[in-house]
Amino acid sequence: MRILLVEAQKHDAMTLTRHLERYGHEVTTVDRGTAALESHQQADFILLDLDLPDIDGLLVCRSLSETAGIPLIAFTGGGTELDRVLGLRAGADDCLDKPYEIRELAARMEAVMRRWVPRRPVPAPKTTVLVGPLRIDAASREVQVHERRVTLTRKEFDLLYYLARHSEMVVTRQRLMAEVWEIPMVQVVGAQASRTVDTHVSSLRGKLGRSSWIVTVRGVGFRIGVG
């Protein structure tokens, strides 16, 4: 089996690779979350240490669980129930505390493989989203407010559509940069990234006619409003 091992600690990576190869596996090792997101296509199984130097490991776990379509076991260094729960909620098929015994890991991998089935494709979102008098048509990429057509740039449309499709939640700048601007989920959003989001939000408010269409939740992010 081809295994992608995501482990920032060189000694741990070498030790685990040696053991896995003794079990007959082919192992590819990377030490960054960005590399994991780019390298999973050729793997049959992912072993992911959540303690990564470049990206929040939970974000990497969630992204891989949604896109890779293969089993994933996460490693946590905290050793608490909360750490394991967060890993499982982020999409891991199993979660194991470090340090661990190689025989237990092998047994858990076998158990995951026995019960694992490919995830069903996520249904395509509705092409038209309605928020009160706001109408967003993804197919034609048209926006209307009170039947008045609003001309938006590509990113303005993508930003508004994303917020409208997630109307039940407050969306962070970090997630907006990842989902709308397609920048890998980074651990910290810099000042330039924040300005990018804020500039587009300000422009959208002006074009929609009211600032209340996009609500700022201080210290968290943004959510769609009611106009």
Give the model's pLDDT for residue 15. 95
Mean pLDDT of 145-166: 94
Q: Which two tokens stand for residue 103?
A: 């025989």
Mean pLDDT of 137-159: 93
Q: Which two tokens stand for residue 32?
A: 């960054």
Mean pLDDT of 95-105: 92
Residue 187 φ then ψ, to 5°: -75, -40
Token pair 């394991």 is at which residue? 84
Q: Which domains does the chain have, with CATH numbers?
A: 2-115 (3.40.50.2300), 128-224 (1.10.10.10)
Give the model's pLDDT for residue 186. 47
The band of 81, judged by pLDDT with boundaries at 50, 70 and 90, is confident
Give the model's pLDDT for residue 61. 92
Whether 120 has a pLDDT exceeding 90, the answer reads no
Mean pLDDT of 9-20: 94
Whether 188 has a pLDDT exceeding 90, the answer reads no
pLDDT per residue as tens digits for the range 28-75: 999 998 899 888 888 999 999 999 998 889 989 988 888 778 899 999
pTM (whole model) above 0.95: no
Give the model's pLDDT for residue 187. 43
Q: Around 148, how many Cα atoms within 13 Å sit in the side-chain half-sphere?
A: 6
pLDDT exceeding 70 applies to what percent of the chain? Answer: 90
Give the model's pLDDT for residue 175. 81
Tell me the pairing of strands 26-30 and 171-172.
Answer: unpaired
Whether 122 has a pLDDT exceeding 50, the answer reads no
Give the model's pLDDT for residue 209. 94
Whether 184 has a pLDDT exceeding 80, the answer reads no
Whether 155 has a pLDDT exceeding 70, the answer reads yes
Mean pLDDT of 197-207: 94
Phi-psi region of 24 (alpha: psi -120 to 50; beta: other; left: phi over 0): left
Residues 223 and 217 sit within 8 Å (Cβ to Cβ): yes
Sequence-ordered list of residues with C-beta below 8 angstroms from that of 7, at least 6 positions apart, any chain = 13, 16, 29, 31, 47, 49, 75
